[in-house]
Chain A
Amino acid sequence: MADQYVSVRNLRFLLHEVFKVSELSRFEHYEHYDREAADMTIDASKQLSDKLLFPILTEMDRNKAYFSEGSVKVHPKLRSVIKNIAEGGWISAHNTFEQGGQQMPLTLLNAALFIMYAANGNAAAYAFLTQGAANLLQSFGSEELKSAFIPKMYSGDWQGTMALTEPQAGSSLYVLLSTAEPTEEGHYKITGQKIYISGGDHEAVDNVVHLLLARIKGAPAGTKGISLFVVPKLREENGALVSNDVSTAGIYGKMGQKGYVAAHLMLGEGSDCRGYLVGQPHMGLRYMFQMMNEARIGTGLMAAATASGAYYASLQYTQERAQGRPPSSKDLTQPPVLIIEHADVRRMLLFQKAVVEGSKSLLLQCSYYADLEMVASGEDKQKAHLLLELLTPIAKSYPAEMGIRSVSEGMQCLGGAGYCDDFPLEQYYRDIRVNSIYEGTTTIHGMDLLGRKVLMQDGRAMKLFAAEVEKVIQEALKEEALRPFAGKLGQAIKDLGKTTYHLVGLAQQESPEVFLADATLYLDFFSLVTIGWQWLLQGVHAQRGLATATADYDRHFYVG
């Protein structure tokens, strides 16, 4: 087992020096979050991760979740892990004081979450899945629904899920078939099935609350006829919890994230599955989409954090394993050097660092926009909203796709040991793979970026983005060491502009098929420019830090 899975120093650098999270306290909503509160939050997350999450990372993979006698068995410590995360106040941390939360900025919460995901995403994900489901209810549910479900979700006693996917409806939800039939009592009778539902059923909680999409009988076809329901596994009747006719047909045998269950659910086989409508009829997809940015940033975090674990495990190995000689040494009697001495091993390590820390920076940047979108006003709010919309497909897909490559390089650093299960690399490699599939495949995000986001408000988001990049380029030009990089990024943003212009032109001349054919490649290119921007931003702040650092420890950090 490796000793380290995350760099807290790097997180502090991003939080305090790059994004200056405590400056959010100028907004009344976040007034309590000064630097000290932020540091305490990060420390608490690290302590929890060290104590409860990291120690069972491998165990959860080896003793995977399994389905037996009608119920889903999970790691025996999972119940206390979920409970501890809940009691720590993490599930509700971002919510308002009135809602039982702590009004924590998303930037800070996501930095803390990054630590937990790096320690053991398979365990932490259960709690943060509940957070997403509870937020949906919090935003759109009636007071009655909120009080019936949210307290038990915040306390970690009940699991929350997002139940969208069906056998015929994956990337395209408009063909959804699950139905909801109104009853005189006010609830709906639900029938249908849902597949791949994360956290869909397991023994570490007392109940499972599905935020489920279904079509009300007689509703219009397509996305406009989809509504959102709360469908609990057990419903309350006369003070007792009874079955709500949601059964588990089985769980999926997955390549990775083996401790994090994905279930196949059957609804209403006995015609007794009750669903409670959330908000207005036919608004389900719209409600879901309003929560998507958060969920997608969450997936990006999971991917980048997994790659972080792999990076530190491979870094440690390369500092312990001796093999080979430097190319210039001809003396065979000399002992072998540590493999970190070899240039190509360093390249593999630096590649991982570039992906992990570049992704982390972008994810916190997006979280910062989400915070501003919530608390700022006027032009600033609009701007944050548009930038978040534009960059979310990248914040989800870049860590997911490049994370796979990054972990692969990590595995390569270990040679044969990387491929064998005495070391954690092979697990990280399996675990990270799914991030580019769920929460929308990379293809879907490519099409979202090119087909929707770039064109939004006549390309306004793109213009705002270019201006943000230009701002950082100007700052970087003031630093001697960064000038060449500033020049390259300047060229890259021009190329991106030209490519976009060309593709948008195609949209007018050719069919949508031609326009969107290379959307994923466009996403790749856009992502590289975006991550380059984040690296240059970090470079500017590292140069400033270096100019004032007095301790060797800090100097080493800023130099990289």
Chain B
Amino acid sequence: MKLLVCVSKTPDTTAKIAFKDNNSAFEEDGVQFIMNPYDEWYALVRALEVKEAVGGSVTIINVGPAANDTIIRKGLAIGADSAVRIDANPQSAMFVARQIAEYAKGEDFDAIFVGKETIDHNGSEVGAMVAELLDQPYISFANHLELDGKVATISREIEGGVEVAELEVPFVLSAAKGLAEQRIPNMRGIMMAKRKPLKVVPPTAFEDQAVVVSYELPPAKAAVKMVDPENLDELVRLLHEEAKVI
């Protein structure tokens, strides 16, 4: 099995979010970045498990600047065999999907894994776009994958139940919680990471049709109001008139 795993960089979950350039761009200064957990914990680890079971290779791909190499090498430390970085600033989901699809076209991957979404933009778009651009079937939010030769059985949670699909390679899958269990890189992996190939590829030209105009933070949480336990009427009034929940 020749597998491609798409990984992206997201701010650490504890990072303070701020914007610059008239709120049109994310302020990266002072922010600690991590590999998007859905890519790392589920997509990458399941791909590695498949490779360990049936042989083959796992390549990770990222669209981003040289600063992303740190994230990429973590993927190599966890166990990917090689990596590709498309050397461009990821401007939109469509831009990223185009770059990945362009690269994948010449490589004949049996399957492409992405995380179900990034934890910053939560777009959940790249996987579907890559599948479309490659004209391959796409299964989103997969939480279970079995492979028997070239046939994959994939489950996904749907409202109130589980949907099971069967399809042949090649396909694109987006990984949800449950697909695999997080792997922590071991010391040997960290040492090996530097010796594994990381290919840097120039981007293909692509004009984005949509531009981000601005970002906004959610409104600040209102202060907690303390209500005297003796004064239940006041509590009911507040819930009714201010919170409007009853």
A and B are partners in one complex rather than unrelated chains: yes
Q: Cβ of A37 and Cβ of B185 under 8 Å apart?
A: no
Contacts of B185 in A (CB 8 A): 40, 44
Docked Cα-Cα span, A47 to B189, in Å, equals 15
| Closest-CB distance, A100 to chain B (whole angstroms) | 9
Within 8 A of A (CB), among B161-208: 182, 184-188, 190-191, 193-194
Docked Cα-Cα span, A560 to B38, in Å, equals 34
Contacts of B31 in A (CB 8 A): 551, 553
Docked Cα-Cα span, A552 to B187, in Å, equals 33
Q: Cβ of A36 and Cβ of B191 under 8 Å apart?
A: no
In-complex Cβ contact of B186 among A32, A44, A335, A551 (8 A): A44
Contacts of A88 in B (CB 8 A): 184, 186-187
Give how many B residues have a beta carbon under 8 Å from the other chain's beta carbons.
21
Interface residue B30 (Cβ < 8 Å from any Cβ of A): yes
- B69 to chain A: closest residue by CB: A36
In-complex Cβ contact of A553 among B16, B186, B191, B194 (8 A): B16
- A84 to chain B: closest residue by CB: B184
| Closest-CB distance, B80 to chain A (whole angstroms) | 14
Docked Cα-Cα span, A538 to B80, in Å, equals 38
In-complex Cβ contact of B188 among A36, A40, A102, A549 (8 A): A102
Contacts of B136 in A (CB 8 A): none
Q: Cβ of A550 and Cβ of B30 under 8 Å apart?
A: yes
The 10 closest A-B pairs by CB, nearest first: A551-B30, A89-B187, A553-B30, A551-B29, A102-B187, A89-B186, A88-B186, A47-B184, A40-B190, A44-B185
Query: Do A102 and B184 form a contact, CB below 8 Å, given A335-B226, A553-B16?
Result: no
| Closest-CB distance, A39 to chain B (whole angstroms) | 7
| Closest-CB distance, B118 to chain A (whole angstroms) | 19
Known: A32-B194, A102-B188. 11 other contacts (CB 8 A): A41-B187, A41-B190, A43-B74, A87-B186, A93-B187, A102-B187, A104-B187, A550-B30, A551-B27, A553-B30, A554-B30
Contacts of A551 in B (CB 8 A): 27, 29-31
Contacts of B194 in A (CB 8 A): 32, 37
Q: Cβ of A40 and Cβ of B16 under 8 Å apart?
A: no
Interface residue B214 (Cβ < 8 Å from any Cβ of A): no
For chain A, what secondary structure do more than half of its interface residues adopt (helix, strand, loop), or is it mixed?
helix
Q: Cβ of A550 and Cβ of B29 under 8 Å apart?
A: yes
Interface residue B89 (Cβ < 8 Å from any Cβ of A): no
Name which of A40, A51, A88, A549 has the most chain B CB atoms within 10 A of its CB.
A40
Q: Cβ of B29 and Cβ of A44 under 8 Å apart?
A: no
Interface residue A205 (Cβ < 8 Å from any Cβ of B): no
Interface residue A145 (Cβ < 8 Å from any Cβ of B): no
Interface residue A48 (Cβ < 8 Å from any Cβ of B): yes
Q: Cβ of A32 and Cβ of B184 under 8 Å apart?
A: no
Q: Cβ of A40 and Cβ of B29 under 8 Å apart?
A: no
Contacts of B186 in A (CB 8 A): 44, 87-89
Contacts of B77 in A (CB 8 A): 40, 44
Q: Cβ of A36 and Cβ of B70 under 8 Å apart?
A: yes
Interface residue B46 (Cβ < 8 Å from any Cβ of A): no
Interface residue A90 (Cβ < 8 Å from any Cβ of B): yes
Contacts of A87 in B (CB 8 A): 186
| Closest-CB distance, A27 to chain B (whole angstroms) | 16
| Closest-CB distance, B224 to chain A (whole angstroms) | 10
Q: Cβ of A37 and Cβ of B190 under 8 Å apart?
A: yes
Interface residue B156 (Cβ < 8 Å from any Cβ of A): no
Interface residue B116 (Cβ < 8 Å from any Cβ of A): no
- A93 to chain B: closest residue by CB: B187
Q: Cβ of A37 and Cβ of B191 under 8 Å apart?
A: yes
| Closest-CB distance, B87 to chain A (whole angstroms) | 18
- A32 to chain B: closest residue by CB: B191
Q: Cβ of B30 and Cβ of A40 under 8 Å apart?
A: no
Q: Cβ of B73 and Cβ of A51 under 8 Å apart?
A: no
Within 8 A of A (CB), among B72-99: 73-74, 77
- A12 to chain B: closest residue by CB: B32
Q: Cβ of A40 and Cβ of B226 under 8 Å apart?
A: no
- Contact bitstring A516-560, B, C-beta under 8 A = 1, else 0: 000000000000000000000000000000000111111000000
Contacts of A84 in B (CB 8 A): 184
- Contact bitstring B223-241, A, C-beta under 8 A = 1, else 0: 0001000000000000000
Within 8 A of B (CB), among A67-106: 84, 87-90, 93, 102, 104
Q: Cβ of A48 and Cβ of B190 under 8 Å apart?
A: no
| Closest-CB distance, B7 to chain A (whole angstroms) | 15
| Closest-CB distance, A47 to chain B (whole angstroms) | 5
Query: Do A40 and B182 form a contact, CB below 8 Å, given A32-B191, A102-B188?
Result: no
Contacts of B190 in A (CB 8 A): 37, 40-41, 44, 102
- B73 to chain A: closest residue by CB: A36
| Closest-CB distance, B198 to chain A (whole angstroms) | 12
| Closest-CB distance, A31 to chain B (whole angstroms) | 11
- Contact bitstring A23-49, B, C-beta under 8 A = 1, else 0: 000000000100011011101100110
| Closest-CB distance, B32 to chain A (whole angstroms) | 8
Within 8 A of A (CB), among B27-41: 27, 29-31
Within 8 A of A (CB), among B47-88: 69-70, 73-74, 77
| Closest-CB distance, B223 to chain A (whole angstroms) | 10
Give 21 pairs: A residue, B residue, CB < 8 Å, sorted on A. A32-B194, A36-B70, A40-B74, A40-B77, A40-B190, A40-B193, A44-B184, A44-B186, A44-B190, A51-B182, A84-B184, A88-B184, A89-B186, A89-B187, A93-B187, A102-B191, A551-B27, A551-B30, A552-B16, A553-B16, A554-B30
Docked Cα-Cα span, A27 to B188, in Å, equals 20
Docked Cα-Cα span, A93 to B191, in Å, equals 11
| Closest-CB distance, B83 to chain A (whole angstroms) | 14
Docked Cα-Cα span, A104 to B186, in Å, equals 12
Docked Cα-Cα span, A349 to B17, in Å, equals 27
Contacts of A47 in B (CB 8 A): 182, 184
Docked Cα-Cα span, A102 to B188, in Å, equals 7
Docked Cα-Cα span, A378 to B185, in Å, equals 37
Docked Cα-Cα span, A43 to B16, in Å, equals 19
| Closest-CB distance, B25 to chain A (whole angstroms) | 15
- Contact bitstring A233-262, B, C-beta under 8 A = 1, else 0: 000000000000000000000000000000
Q: Cβ of A51 and Cβ of B184 under 8 Å apart?
A: yes
Docked Cα-Cα span, A195 to B191, in Å, equals 40
Name which of B16, B186, B187, B190 has the most chain A CB atoms within 10 A of its CB.
B187
Contacts of A552 in B (CB 8 A): 16, 30
Docked Cα-Cα span, A36 to B182, in Å, equals 21
| Closest-CB distance, A136 to chain B (whole angstroms) | 21
